[in-house]
Amino acid sequence: MIPLIIGKNSNGQDKTINLAAIPLLMISYSNDHQLQDILTKLTSLHYPYKEPDFIITSSKFIQVNANSCGGHVFLKDKPGNPGFKSRAECIDAVIKQIKQRQKILNQARAGDFKQYAALNLRNPTKLTYRFLVIDDIWDVVTAKPKSIALSFMHILLNGPAAGIHTIFASGISYRNLLQQLIQIHPAIVTELQRKFGKPEPTKLNVLGAELIFTPEELVFLTENGAVGSERFFRSVL
């Protein structure tokens, strides 16, 4: 269980989601303070064997220190100070981490991360969930080189089985994000068909949950597979 408080219900009780059960969390926000609050909560989480998350953001949204993300961050306004020098370098580091974990899972004869975690007491290498956190998804998928888009899709499709989940945000609609990714890199269709068969999905919501922060400070949560959304009120740090 990796709890994240996203808001409060009408009775003033906290609403918590379990990030360990959400391979992809898509966040839409209306004001910068909404994104800053959620990023602060994410980098403040503590759980057993926690390792630094991979983060692509700017310094106005996050305070970088050794206790939060250390060198596993790319600051768009301060590249390499500290951390990665480019978006591509950060994405490549996540891909490398997935491959390393897949090797560990294979050696333990675990089919995926959940099976490995169930045997964690017996495994010499302690692994926990790690997250790729992106404050502006369009900034990443339209960045050069174009191979970043294909690598990002590889992370979405293969990261969860290795215990690496993705959280991304956008201040504008991303409902056509998958189609945009396919336009940038048509090979993504083959990746989708390999995982889901034909016809391949046309929306990314099949992979995870959606969180929407409105200008009125309301919070709408659509969980993976749910037909409708639940409404909550934003909780202030």
**Cα torsion angle, 155, 152, 47, 6, sign:** negative
For residue 23, which of 158, 138, 142, 154 has the smallest C-alpha distance?
158
- pLDDT at residue 225 tops 70: no
pTM higher than 0.85, yes or no? yes
Report pLDDT for 134: 93
**pLDDT tens-place string over residues 209-220:** 988 899 999 999
Please give the structure tokens belonging to residue 41.
């909560």
Answer for the pair 57, 133: CB distance below 8 angstroms, yes or no: yes
Domain topology for 3-233: Rossmann fold (3.40.50)
Q: 122-143: per-residue pLDDT in tens?
A: 666 788 899 999 998 888 888 8
The pLDDT score that the predictor gives to residue 194 is 83
Phi, psi of 234 (to 5 degrees): -65, 135
Q: Are 13 and 212 in contact (CB under 8 A)?
A: no
Q: How confident is the model at residue 66 (pLDDT cuts 50, 70, 90)?
A: very low
pLDDT tens-digit series, residues 139-179: 888 888 888 888 998 999 999 999 999 999 988 866 667 77
Please report how the helices 147-158 and 87-107 are oriented relative to each other, as an axis angle in degrees rounded to 10: 30
Q: Where are the domains of the chain?
A: 3-233
